[in-house]
């Protein structure tokens, strides 16, 4: 019994400080740029055939990602990975599933130039946007200068993305001591910690701050060929290693995982507990944990309310 007590002590007392932090209520954003970026975000001119905007795959009104298993880009081409959410992406330590971009400023060039996504280049974007009087006026107001440059366009979109944060999730309010969680939610959070989910899903984004293997305990879908971490590091051990995804607004970003294989949270919990934890969750445990995960849904980004 002594040992048991010690174990409990270790688990619950060493973590008196919660390993999850709330999204700050005040973030620094250049609103003029962000508003400009917002307009650009919704504009399909950023695709070869004028079919696709950033918004096409990142529905910022509903989870910031795409309900499809893989997104559809120009000429109805299919992507090779499930679209991650753009919400709260500023808090991710790397961008893309395999973390190949250091930050949003680096990330943005990816989809723009990707032949199955926007299939664009800097020159074409400049040519197109400079033809539009409305943009020219808006840009000269914010950036000055006679013509719009590609860098300015990217900068504006990034600033918009920086503004896409979803504060005041119920769990954040709990963390700030503003309210108490329901019993099942609280149970779910304890299970989240006890089962070790929190080992990887922690920090402000409840994930997004480390790389981890999908199937660390039990190999997952070994034959698949997704752009995982091994594509970057050329280390075969990094097969199926991805950036740990954020769990914020997780209830809205189905389907789940890089391959979009899990349609529901329950399904996703089952897969994760089996492959990464070596645990078979009980039904009531799953329900509690889903209840907890739903407390991570935050408020819509304020910038979306501004017309």
Contact positions with another protein (CB under 8 A) in 219-258: 233, 235, 237, 241
Is 20 near another protein (CB under 8 A)?
yes
Of the candidates 38, 58, 193, 294, which one interacts with another protein according to CB under 8 A? Answer: 193
Q: Output 91 or 292, the one with its CB closest to another protein.
A: 91
One of 10, 25, 27, 179 touching another protein (CB under 8 A): 10
Residue 286 makes CB contacts below 8 A (sequence gap 6+) with 266, 269, 270
Which residue's CB is nearer to another protein, number 154 or number 197? 197
Per CB under 8 A, does 24 bind another protein?
A: no
Based on the residue annotation, tell me whether 159 is a catalytic residue of this protein. Answer: no
Kindly state the smallest distance separating residue 13's Cβ from another protein, in Å.
Answer: 10
Q: Is 90 in the site for another protein (CB under 8 A)?
A: no
The answer to the question of residue 277 lying near another protein (CB under 8 A) is yes
Residue 54 or 158 with smaller CB distance to another protein: 158
Nearer to another protein, 204 or 303 (CB): 204
Among 41, 139, 211, 257, binds another protein (CB under 8 A): 211
Segment interacting with another protein (CB under 8 A) among 156-164, 169-177, 198-206, 298-306: 198-206
Query: Considering the rule CB under 8 A, would residue 3 count as an interface residue with another protein?
Result: yes
- The angle subtended at Cα 186 by Cα 183 and Cα 190, nearest 5°, is 135
Stretch in the footprint of another protein (CB under 8 A) among 38-46, 58-66, 175-183, 187-195? 187-195
Gap between the Cα atoms of 305 and 301, Å rounded: 8
Query: Is the CB of 16 or the CB of 146 nearer to another protein?
Result: 16
Looking at 18, 28, 106, 117, which residue is catalytic? Answer: 117
The three-point CA angle 64-65-67 to 5° equals: 130
Choose between 52 and 246: whose C-beta lies nearer to another protein. Answer: 246
Q: Tokens for 223?
A: 């034959």
- Residues within the interface to another protein (CB under 8 A): 3-4, 7, 10-11, 14-15, 17, 19-21, 91, 93, 102, 193-196, 198-200, 202-205, 209-213, 216-217, 233, 235, 237, 241, 276-279
């Amino acid at each position: 019994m002594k040992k048991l007590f010690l174990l409990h002590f270790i688990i619950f007392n060493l973590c008196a400080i919660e390993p999850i932090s709330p999204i700050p209520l005040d973030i620094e954003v250049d609103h003029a740029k962000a508003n400009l970026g917002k307009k650009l975000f919704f504009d399909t001119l950023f695709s070869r055939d004028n079919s696709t905007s950033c918004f096409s795959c990142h529905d910022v009104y509903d989870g910031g990602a795409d309900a499809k298993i893989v997104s559809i880009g120009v000429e109805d081409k299919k992507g090779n990975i499930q679209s991650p959410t753009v919400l709260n992406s500023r808090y991710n330590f790397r961008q893309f599933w395999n973390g190949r971009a250091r930050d949003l400023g680096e990330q943005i060039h990816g989809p723009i130039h990707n032949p199955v996504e926007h299939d664009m280049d800097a020159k074409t974007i400049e040519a197109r946007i400079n033809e539009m009087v409305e943009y020219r006026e808006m840009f000269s107001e914010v950036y000055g200068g006679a013509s719009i440059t590609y860098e300015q366009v990217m900068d504006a979109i990034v600033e918009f993305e920086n503004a896409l944060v979803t504060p005041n999730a119920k769990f954040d309010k709990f963390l700030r001591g503003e309210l108490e969680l329901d019993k099942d939610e609280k149970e779910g959070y304890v299970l989240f910690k006890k089962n070790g989910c929190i080992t990887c899903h922690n920090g402000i984004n409840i994930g997004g701050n480390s790389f981890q293997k999908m199937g660390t305990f039990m190999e997952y879908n070994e034959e698949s060929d997704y752009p995982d971490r091994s594509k970057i590091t050329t280390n075969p051990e990094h097969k199926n290693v991805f950036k740990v995804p954020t769990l914020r607004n997780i209830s809205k970003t189905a389907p789940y995982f890089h391959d979009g294989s899990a349609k529901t949270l329950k399904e996703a919990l089952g897969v994760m507990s089996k492959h990464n934890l070596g645990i078979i969750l009980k039904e009531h445990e799953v329900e509690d944990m889903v209840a907890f995960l739903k407390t991570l849904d935050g408020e819509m980004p304020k910038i979306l309310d501004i017309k």
